[in-house]
Amino acid sequence: MSRAKIAAAALPSLVLAPLVPLFMASCAETDEARPTEEDASSVIQPPEVDASSSDAGDAGLDCDAGDPDCVSNLLSCDEADFCPVPSAVDRRYALTAVWGSGAKDVWAVGSGGTITHWDGNAWKLVPSDTPETFNAVWGSSASDVWVAGSTSTLLHGTGYAGGSATWTIETVFSGDDIGYVYPGRLHAVWGTNATDVRAGGAPFGADTPDGMILGNLLVRAPSDAGSAGWDVLSGLDGRWFDATVRAIWGSSARDVWIALDNGNEEPWARGTVAHGTASASGDPLTWTSVDSKSTAPLESIWGSSATDVWAVGGNGIVRRFTGGKSFAIVDGVPTTVALRGVWGSGPSDVWVVGDSGTVLHFDGAAWSEATVAFPLGRKPDLKAVWGSGPNDVWVVGDAFALHFTGKKAGR
């Protein structure tokens, strides 16, 4: 563990360090192709199609009507569980993460430096002044919001006010004695309060006079002087140095779960899960490996309590921890597509989303597939889910923001 110097700079002065071959593979997997000439504030939403029209079943299709990944018959928002809401995002961009402090304060982020905010009435784009893809968003409150793209674009905001937001960038490595910086893609950010924040991703590093500092996890915590600073962690308790952090969640500062892709060291360990616990507040976490029973990467992790933790990943994988030394394989999941996000309001109200427009719900006893009022054409890949409660749930993906407001009458 090493304490890295921190400097907060105004975002327009952001300068991205070049990527070196060592880190190109980790970044390439998440960078979507994105336009560079057009104004990203341009709004292109799914086309409006009158479902009552006799041509509605055939118009606008860019896929085979017999393909299960193709929408050829429209549902209205009155018929479907989830309805698309204009996200203010150009359809060439993808939304990758969503989080909010409440029903009227929701953030979604994505490719092309996209940040959009829901105020209870509409989504509105918020400038980020960077084209880099954001992969995670989290906050401790409406006035303390973190957006993570890479170690060069870890943004901190003080909330949405006056129709916009102000962002500063946290510089992980700074100072005249810092040599070349090797940025790493960040995939997760989570914490328990404004000074207890964790951000993780692909391995990153910097040349210093004392040698190379390498890490894959940042931990923000008060220093001895009382101010908040970042610790750069290389692995956890001497393990998983070359792993990529995919997701972070905890029930408290003393109970933290991290999903890691450790395929660089052990090809069969792409679904590694580490559990950090501490016996008393303020004590360092002790990390142990918990068998996920998955060789595929786990993309998202969430729990309703310390003894009810869910993880999802490739090939329709859903795992659940209720105690002991391993996760249980969850049966009855009605899909084999890659699953990207999990969230719930409790152990009997869990949502899972993934590729090909997949939205699944677990009611404590069985799984069901939610209906969505997608436009005609190929179903979008969905990346993340969050809600303020059981009847206010958001799902985001390929420029889509889908809203659930409760089961419809008669359904």
User: Could you list the residue range(s) of the whole structural domain that residue 307 is in?
Assistant: 238-331
Q: Is residue 168's pLDDT more than 50?
A: yes
The pLDDT value recorded for residue 33 is 34
Alpha-carbon distances of 207 from 181, 204, 231, 243, rounded to whole Å: 7, 11, 16, 20
- DSSP-based three-state secondary structure for 315: helix
Would 230 be classed as within a structural domain? no
Residue 60: the pLDDT is 55
Q: Is residue 267 part of a domain?
A: yes
Name the least confident of 221-235, 336-350, 393-407: 221-235
Q: Which helix (H) or strand (E) holds 356?
A: none
- Compute the distance between CA of residue 204 and CA of residue 200 in angstroms, rounded to an integer: 10
Least confident among 24-28, 56-60, 174-178: 24-28
Residue 154's pLDDT is 95
* 338 contacts 354 by C-beta, under 8 angstroms: yes
Q: What is the end-to-end Cα distance of the chain in Å, rounded?
A: 53
Q: Give the pLDDT confidence of 236-288 residue by residue, as tens digits.
A: 998 999 999 999 999 999 999 999 999 999 999 999 999 999 999 889 999 99
Tell me what pLDDT residue 18 has: 34
pLDDT, tens digit (0-9, with 9 covering 90-100), for 291-310: 999 999 999 999 999 999 99
pLDDT one-digit tens code per residue, 353-379: 999 999 999 999 999 999 999 999 999
Q: Residue 48: name the closest of 19, 10, 76, 29 by CA.
A: 76
Domain assignment present for 324: yes
Q: Which amino acid is at 291?
A: D
* Run of H or E residues at 28: helix 21-28
Query: In a 3-state reduction of DSSP, which class is residue 163?
Result: coil
- Determine the Cα–Cα distance for residues 359 and 224; give it in Å rounded to an integer: 46
Count of domains for the chain: 1
**Burial track 307-328 (b if 16+ CB lie within 10 A, e otherwise):** ebbbbbbbebbbbbbeeeeebe
What is the pLDDT, as a whole number, of residue 290? 98
CATH number at residue 284: 2.20.25
The pLDDT confidence band at residue 389, using thresholds 50, 70 and 90, is: very high
Please tell me which of 23-32, 73-82, 166-175 the model is most confident about, judged by mean pLDDT: 73-82
Percent of the chain with pLDDT over 90: 69
Say how far apart CA 402 and CA 405 lie, in whole Å.
10
Antiparallel, parallel or unpaired: β 377-378 and 367-369 = unpaired
Residue 221 has pLDDT above 70, yes or no: yes
pLDDT of residue 4: 44
In eight-state DSSP terms, residue 233 is E
Q: What SS3 class is residue 11?
A: helix
For 73-93, what is each residue's pLDDT tens digit?
999 999 999 999 999 999 899
Q: What is the pTM of this model?
A: 0.85
**Is residue 29's pLDDT more than 80?**
no
Q: What is the pLDDT of residue 38?
A: 32
Query: Strand, helix or coil at 112?
Result: helix
Report if residue 69 sits inside a domain.
Answer: no
What mean pLDDT comes out for the span 102-109? 98
